[in-house]
Amino acid sequence: MQPNPSTVTSGAVRRGLQGSGTHWPSVVFQVLLAASLLFTLVALLVLLADVLGRGMPVLSERGIDFLTAPLSSDPAKAGVGQALWGTFVIGVIVVGVAFPLGVATAVYLEEYATGSRLTRLVDVNIRNLAGVPSIVYGLLGLAVFVGLFKWLGLGNGRNVIAGGLTVAVLVLPIVIITAAEAIRAVPISIREAGYGVGASRWQVTAKLVLPAAFPGILTGIVLSLSRALGETAPLILAGAVLGSFSSGNADLLGQLLGPYTALPMVVYRWTTLPQDEFRQLAAAGMVVLLAITFAANGLAIYLRNRYSRVW
């Protein structure tokens, strides 16, 4: 009985790939990867332990008062109430501006645009913009948004709307990329089935493609939002206040067009002050910012596991 040639060939290929002995360069490479992972985890745990050790006593002692108290030059009275409000407004602006524009752009690039040279150029530039340092977006916000509001006569232009628009532009490329990848992952058979029953391109996109890509799009949106809330460099140039200010008692319009701050800015400011009390307040602010980030990441993981589909 003659052996099956395909079986003999596959067995020879398998033995050739596995080799007869230990491939030491692969072993060394795996050891280096494991050591890098271990070093990263140890450094992260040390930093978390240091921040929690400094910040938790402040949170346990002051409790909700630390989250609601305004900024102050007295460390016993200083809190992050105004900073949380500024962070919340920035998050709302990012959700209202970056996410609709990002998802709409991704839908156009994946479902409507042809594979022309212009489309490929736009896609490459979007991916390049995702890697641009955040300080560059801060310069953009200073030149465009702050200058626009100042030209319109709305104060000096350094308001929370300008800061929110700056951060929205910062995360816009990330939203486009994650949404495009989620749309691209939808099997082509779903589109073919829609066209087969006479649906238009808009009906296929709205009724079939977007619902199927929703888990990936939503996960990317939540992760982009968590990054937006932790940015500091763009807000410095976009007019966020480092010290205390008095616009917290103004009406809503006055707060939107007046001085503002955000939680990362307050943490940065407190770390530059010489008093040890402010260092402890900065650690407590870091704990609050970490809690917001972990909550956003946990929400993204839950939504991904809840709505994910296996094709």
Q: How confident is the model at residue 167 (pLDDT cuts 50, 70, 90)?
A: very high
> Is residue 19 one of the residues assigned to a domain?
no
Q: How many CA atoms lie within 13 A of 66 on its CB side?
A: 23
User: For the chain, how far is it from start to end, CA to CA, in angstroms?
Assistant: 42
Whether residue 63 lies inside any domain: the answer is: no
Q: Is residue 73 part of a domain?
A: no
Cα–Cα dist 224/84, whole Å: 18
pLDDT surpasses 70 at 17? no
Total count of domains within the chain: 1
Contacts of 139 (CB under 8 A, 6+ apart): 237
Q: What is the CATH number of the domain that holds 98?
A: 1.10.3720.10
Whole-number average pLDDT of the chain: 83
Residues of the chain above pLDDT 90, percent: 17
The two tokens of residue 247 are 């616009």
What is the percent of the chain with per-residue pLDDT over 70, rounded to a whole number? 88
The confidence band for 106, taking pLDDT boundaries of 50, 70 and 90, is very high
Nearest to 292 by CA among 84, 42, 49: 84
* 158: DSSP letter: -
pLDDT of residue 30: 93
pLDDT reported for residue 243: 54
What average pLDDT score do residues 122-132 get? 89
Does the pLDDT at position 239 exceed 80? Answer: no
Using only C-alpha atoms, what is the Rg of the chain? 25
In a domain? residue 23: no
Q: pLDDT tens digits for 37-54? A: 999 999 999 988 988 888
Locus of tokens 């994910």: 308
In a domain, 115, yes or no: yes
Averaged pLDDT, 297-306:
79
Domain annotation covers residue 36: no
Average pLDDT of the segment spanning 219-227: 84
Average pLDDT (183-211) is: 88
Would residue 21 count as lying in a domain? no
* Mean per-residue pLDDT, 80-109: 90
Decide: helix, strand or coil at residue 114: coil
Q: pTM for the complete prediction?
A: 0.80
Q: Is residue 259 part of a domain?
A: yes
Q: Nearest CA to 218 among 289, 301, 295? A: 301
- With a cut of 60, say whether residue 3 has pLDDT above it: no
* Domain residue limits at 156: 81-307
Phi, psi of 131 (to 5 degrees): -100, 5
pLDDT (0 to 100) of residue 7: 57
